[in-house]
Amino acid sequence: DMTTAGLFLTIALMFIGASPGGTGGGIKTTTARIIASCTKAILQGKEEVNLYQRQVPIPLILKAVGVLFGSLTTVIVATTLITITDPDLDFIQLFFEVVSAFATVGLSTGITASVSQWAHLILIVTMYIGRVGIWLLMASLLGDSQPNQIKYPEQDLLVG
């Protein structure tokens, strides 16, 4: 039995996952690094994100944010749906199962055998989304994007 802190740390590591090019799941270490560097640049008041003496292009930052947002949304929706179908499950163990399914890790706290058929179906869909990749799935659902022919003026907004 792992402690709650141990489960939470493992959840974070599973969510980040493997490096690109490997067979492991998760959002990938490079995506996590870009997001962390972007956060650091924002906190330091910088207008560009640099990694290893190289500037990270804005489209790559946007892709990393999209992957993070899509992945978090998938995990949150799956977890919420299973808490509705199986309200008696321990939340941290359920969250562990969902992230493990999304990241295609294969770890379990042992509750998978006791969940409902609906929860099994949700976990299967979550595994499929995690295996196909959230970016590829979103791109296929949203269709082919044509380059913008119209350039809009920039607008400053208050954020945070």
* Domain count along the chain: 1
**So what's the pLDDT on residue 80?**
98
Local structure of 54: helix, strand or coil = strand
Taking the model in full, what pTM does it have?
A: 0.86
Structure-token match 């400053």, residue found: 156
Is 53 part of any domain? Answer: yes
Integer Cα distance of 115 and 82 in angstroms? 9
Is 81 part of any domain? Answer: yes
Tell me the pLDDT band of 103, cut-offs 50, 70 and 90: very high
| Cα–chain center distance at 75 | 7
CB distance 34 to 61 below 8 Å:
yes
**So what's the pLDDT on residue 150?**
78
Chain segment 29-67, per-residue pLDDT in tens:
999 999 999 999 999 999 999 999 999 999 999 999 999
Is 116 part of any domain? Answer: yes
Is 120 part of any domain? Answer: yes
Local structure of 77: helix, strand or coil = helix
Range of the domain at 115: 4-141
Q: How many H-runs (helices) and E-runs (strands) does the chain carry?
A: 6, 2
